[in-house]
Each structure stands twice: as C-alpha cells, then as structure tokens.
Amino acid sequence: MNGSDPSLGSLTATFALMSLFAIGGANAAVPEIHRIVVDVHHWLTDVQFADAYAIAQLSPGPNVLIVTLIGYHVAGIAGAMVATLAMCGPTAVLAYVVSRMLGRASRSQWPAIIQAALVPLSIGLMCASGLILATTSDRTIGAALVTAAAAVLAAATRLNPLWLLIAGGILGFAGVV
C-alpha cells in the first residue's frame, strides 16, 4: 500500500467481501478484519484496532459497528458510512432473497445440515477473535487477570455486560491493566 491514501472504493471492496465470510456474525469476522485492516492495509495499528473494538462494545447497537469506526479512521464520515453499508448490504440482500425462497420451498433438510456444519466453525472463529484481541491487549498480568475475571463473571452470571465494561474502564483508568 506504498503510503497512498486508501480510498472509499478500497473500503467498500474490503468490507463487502468480508461480510460474505462473516459466518456467525461480526465478532466471528474480527480475525479477518484485523488481518486485512492491520496486517495487509496498515490502516490501523494493533492498539487502535483494540481501541476500536472497545469503543464498539461500549456503544449501543449491533457489534458490526467496529466497521464504522474503522471506516471513520480511514476516510472520515464518508468512510464510516461506506464501510458500514458495505459490511451490511450484500448479506442483507442475500438474507432477503434466501428468506423469500425458503418461504415458498418445501421443508428441505439442507438448511439444518448447513447450520450444523457452520455453528462449530463460527464458535471457532469467535474464540480466535478472543485470542487475537487478547494478544494485543493482555500484555500485563493485571490485564490478563481482568480478562479472565470478565470471562468467568459473564459466563457464570446474567450481569449486564455494560457494567463489566464500565468496571474495566475504571480499572484501566486506575492503572490496573
């Protein structure tokens, strides 16, 4: 990317393609978003990527909003809009078409078979997302402990995730991580 400004076209192409491989939702696509955005295009640093993920989690709305933040970082407000629409558009059209077809089709066993195959893949992708983000954010023992505590609390209780995120912010502000 010899230093040239990444264009809106590049954002569109990147995220439109990405959306079609985001099996299991936006969080499953985090490793690929990280690979393309940090390693291939150098649009963001590791730390900026981790920050974008944190801000997206702190905001209300679908997890896909990490893409809006990346788009803004690359090309301002236009970039935010373009990246968001590129990430949502193609699969929204696909979902519309498939739901129309299935509405009329007879009861096929294929959707169940495809789903049974894709669920483990999407869980594997989410765990990979966790690992990739952890390698950039958990650089101290304190940080790793905060991550572990959040994982245990979220898995074992029905606490609203927002409280955990806020607690993490306070711990970070206090210099624990």
Partner 1 sequence: MAFHAPASVADSPAPRVPRPQLGELFVAFAKMSLAGFGGVLMWARRGIVEKHRWMTADEFNDTFALCHFLPGPNIVNLSVVFGARIRGIPGALAAFTGLVAPPVLIVTILAALYARYGEIDALRRTLAGVTCVAVGLLFAVGFKMMLPLLRKRDPVAVLLLVAVFVAIGVLRLPLPAVLSVMAPLGIAASYLIRRRRAP
Q: Between residue 27 and residue 56, which ones bind partner 1 under the rule CB under 8 A?
A: 27, 29, 31-32, 35, 39, 48, 50-51, 53-56
Q: In 10 A of CB 40, how many CB atoms?
A: 11
Give yes or no for residue 138 binding partner 1 (CB under 8 A).
yes
Q: What amino acid occupies position 50?
A: A
Q: Between residue 8 and residue 27, which ones bind partner 1 under the rule CB under 8 A?
A: 17, 19-27
Residue 1 neighbours by CB under 8 Å, 6+ apart: 40, 41, 42
Q: Given the complex with partner 1, which of 7 and 45 has the nearer CB atom?
A: 45
Q: Within its chain, how far is the Cα of 130 from the centroid?
A: 10
Give yes or no for residue 78 binding partner 1 (CB under 8 A).
no
Backbone angles phi, psi at 105, to 5 degrees: -70, 160
Q: How many residues bind partner 1 (CB under 8 A)?
A: 111
Q: Between residue 81 and residue 120, which ones bind partner 1 under the rule CB under 8 A?
A: 81, 84, 87-88, 90-92, 94-96, 98-100, 102-109, 111-120
Q: Given the complex with partner 1, which of 1 and 98 has the nearer CB atom?
A: 98
In Å, how far are 1, 21, 75, 152 from 24, measured between CA atoms? 30, 9, 28, 22
